[in-house]
């Protein structure tokens, strides 16, 4: 199931990334470490954050960031 991120998912998402092996991490671009993950999740109202879940366990994470610098778009 894919569903929107909720504030009480924070610790479970940190645990999800902590459980990934070095082999898995080399093929992705996740936030590494609790501080960086929490930084990504610090302002959820400005991002689209979805979680994939299976049997109550987080198995995936998607985050779309808003454009922090409008001048980049000309």
| pLDDT-based confidence at residue 69 (cuts at 50, 70, 90) | low
Domain ranges in the chain? 2-73
Structure confidence at residue 63 as a pLDDT band (50, 70, 90): confident
How deeply is 37 buried, as exposed, middle or buried, from its count of CB atoms within 10 A (0-12, 13-18, 19+)? buried
Provide the pLDDT for residue 29. 64
Contact 16, 58 (CB under 8 A): yes
Question: 9-56: per-residue pLDDT in tens?
Answer: 988 988 888 888 878 777 766 556 778 777 777 777 778 899 999 999
């Amino acid at each position: 199931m894919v569903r929107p991120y909720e504030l009480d998912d924070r610790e479970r998402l940190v645990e999800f990334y902590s459980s990934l092996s070095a082999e898995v991490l080399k093929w992705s671009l996740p936030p590494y470490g609790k501080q960086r993950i929490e930084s990504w999740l610090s302002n959820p109202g400005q991002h689209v954050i979805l979680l994939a879940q299976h049997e109550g366990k987080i198995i995936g994470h998607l985050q779309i960031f808003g454009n922090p610098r409008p001048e980049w778009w000309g």
